[in-house]
Amino acid sequence: MNRNPHKSIGDPAPVAGPGPSYSVQRRYVAFMMWLIARLLQAASAVDRTIRSDVADLPEGFSFCMRVRSGTPVLTMKKSGDGLAVVRRSSEIRPTLAFEFKHVAHAFLVLSFQESTPRAFANDRLSIDGEFTNAMKVLRCLNRMQALVLPRFVAGRALKEYPAIGLAEKLALAARIYGRFVIDLFRRDSS
């Protein structure tokens, strides 16, 4: 008998605590948030589907994804019809916030052990802001993951894998990774 109504049988239990596993999880989550932000920025510059969803977001829109403790965090803002990384997140109050309740919860999602919808259903992730905008951002994140990750990994991260042909996926993935590398070496003051 499942005594906890919020936990499904077979859900992985989050590992947390002050030991080395916690510090490894924290570093991994910080790295993945850094990587996701930059890949999403690159994807929003080259993929028409993502650009279309971003265009539907209101002017001045920004969002962050963070762990409840405040760090690690990624912050992005709408810039034209794309998304741009905000380097100093304290300078901007985001319109929308995705907040993981613990580093271990973020680790489950960012290590592809649990999908974002499952984390939300398991009460490990909360959303502060307009839900329709959250869905648009999640569609962008899902599309980016489907394009840049191998299908067997993306299939674990996504609720449903989108219909993308192999040639289209490879061409867009190459363009996204190319843009990612260019953005890494570009000397912006933003």
Structure-token match 């912006």, residue found: 188
Residue 9 tokens, joined? 């049988």
pLDDT digits (tens, 9 = 90+) for 43-88: 999 999 999 999 999 998 999 998 987 777 899 999 888 999 887 6
Cα Rg of the chain, angstroms: 17
Nearest to 33 by CA among 69, 82, 84, 71: 71
Q: Identify residue 164 by its one-letter amino acid code.
A: I
Structure confidence at residue 90 as a pLDDT band (50, 70, 90)? low
Structure confidence at residue 187 as a pLDDT band (50, 70, 90)? low
Nearest to 29 by CA among 137, 125, 127, 160: 125
* 42 has a pLDDT exceeding 90: yes
Within 10 angstroms of residue 130's Cβ, the number of other Cβ atoms is 14
